[in-house]
Amino acid sequence: MQTTSFVLGAAEFNSGDILFQLAMFAILMALLKKFAWGPLMGIMKERENHIASEISAAERSREEAGKSLEEQRQLLKEARQEAQTMIENSKKHGEEERAQIIASARAEADRMKESAKKEIEIEKDKAVSTLREQVSSLSVLIASKVIEKELSAADQQKLISDYIQEAGEER
């Protein structure tokens, strides 16, 4: 085979070398495709599948977290409502108990007041009875003294005033 060479300026190109280099390049490309590009693409495909599965897992986790968050919010809302109900029930019970205590205290105060009124009435009746006894004994005493001596109207008035004053001092 005869090689033709071309001269371009100062450099000379050999067509055999060019064909040899093209053939070597094609063989190198075929080897790269078979031994490097294929496995590399397989690794890339595996990596892509792995990333896709990780994204899917992350998406599922995000959805589960969203559901859990919603459940927690619902539970918190229910707990708040329950706490509010308990507070309202406690207030209501406290108000009822307060009203009951006040009613009981008022009833006791009324009972004590009635008892005190009865005692006062009894003591008043005793005092009036004692006063009547004293007045009757004074009347008897005055009558006996009047009988002992006859007095003028002025003397009688003075005597009555003196005995009334004595009776007031004894009390």
Angle between helices 153-170 and 38-148 (to 10 degrees): 150
* pLDDT at residue 73, as a whole number: 95
DSSP 116: H
Q: How confident is the model at residue 117 (pLDDT cuts 50, 70, 90)?
A: very high
Torsion of CA 35, 39, 41, 43, to 10 degrees: -160
Find the distance separating the first CA and the last CA of the chain, reported in whole Å: 170
Lowest model confidence (mean pLDDT) among 31-35, 65-69, 130-134, 163-167: 163-167
The three-class DSSP label of residue 171 is coil
Q: What residues make up the domain containing 94?
A: 5-170
Handedness of CA 91, 94, 98, 104 (dihedral sign): positive
159 Cα distance to chain centroid: 84
Number of domains in the chain: 1
Which is more confidently placed, 5 or 59? Answer: 59
Which is more confidently placed, 17 or 142? Answer: 17
What residue type is 102 in one-letter code?
I
Q: How confident is the model at residue 35 (pLDDT cuts 50, 70, 90)?
A: confident
Q: Is the pLDDT of residue 110 over 80?
A: yes
Which is more confidently placed, 12 or 55? Answer: 55
For the segment 4-33, the average pLDDT, to the nearest whole number, is 79
Q: Give the global pTM.
A: 0.40
* pLDDT at residue 142, as a whole number: 75
* pLDDT at residue 48, as a whole number: 93
For the segment 70-97, the average pLDDT, to the nearest whole number, is 94
Lowest model confidence (mean pLDDT) among 19-33, 35-49, 62-76: 35-49
Q: Tokens for 49?
A: 């599948």
* pLDDT at residue 156, as a whole number: 72
